[in-house]
Amino acid sequence: MMSEREHRQASPLAPMNAYSRSDAEAADPGELRRQKRKKYLIYFAAFVVFQTAIIVLFSLTVMKVKTPKFRVRSSSSINTVTNTTSFTLNAQFGVKNTNFGPYKYDSTTVYFQYNGIEVGSAFIPKSKANFLSTKKINVPVELSSANLSGNTLNLTSTARLSGKVELMLIFKKKKAVNMNCTMVANTSTQMLENIKCK
């Protein structure tokens, strides 16, 4: 029979690798620092890529300045003044601004022609079209010429509107737009018909 002392000596010793493993981890703090640095660099690179994408998207959409549109929209009535040689045209003009900032424009004059002859004009006062909206301007226009006759009149309107688009209250970009519209003034229906603008 084995003595108690022999039995104690024959039993396996406690594993040493637990101490050696923790010693190895404690002995390599440089590797942990390198892994942390690598992780931070990856996060920083991802942040830079994300910010660059946001700036590019912002530049291509919000900061891109488009030329507004200036057109004849409609007419509420056409009234004969005397002997069908003069008409009062209650015209509505529109300044369409598709930018992310207001378009402040100067005053201008719209000229109407009939068969190449100027027969009337309309004064457009200085104002602004808010961002992503259409500014509607109602102006009475007197058309007068000895050549004006018949129930339908083929008219053209021309004008040039100059102004500035403001973005974020800091950036200003000059933009000018030309109006070139054709239309038919129908004195029977008292409406402008077949309005086409380039």
Could you tell me how many helices (H) and strands (E) the chain has, helices first? 3, 10
Radius of gyration of the chain, Cα coordinates, nearest whole angstrom: 39
Q: Are strands 103-105 and 86-97 parallel, antiparallel or unpaired?
A: unpaired
pLDDT at residue 134 in the model: 97
Neighbour count for residue 117 (Cβ, 10 Å):
11
pLDDT tens for the chain, 198 residues: list them.
Answer: 555 555 555 555 555 554 455 554 554 777 888 888 888 888 888 888 877 777 666 665 666 889 999 999 988 777 765 555 778 889 999 999 999 999 999 999 999 999 889 999 999 999 999 999 999 999 999 888 777 767 788 999 999 999 999 988 788 999 999 999 999 988 788 888 999 998
pLDDT at residue 61 in the model: 62
Give the strands of the sheet with 133-144, arranged side by side: 69-80, 86-97, 133-144
Entry pTM: 0.68
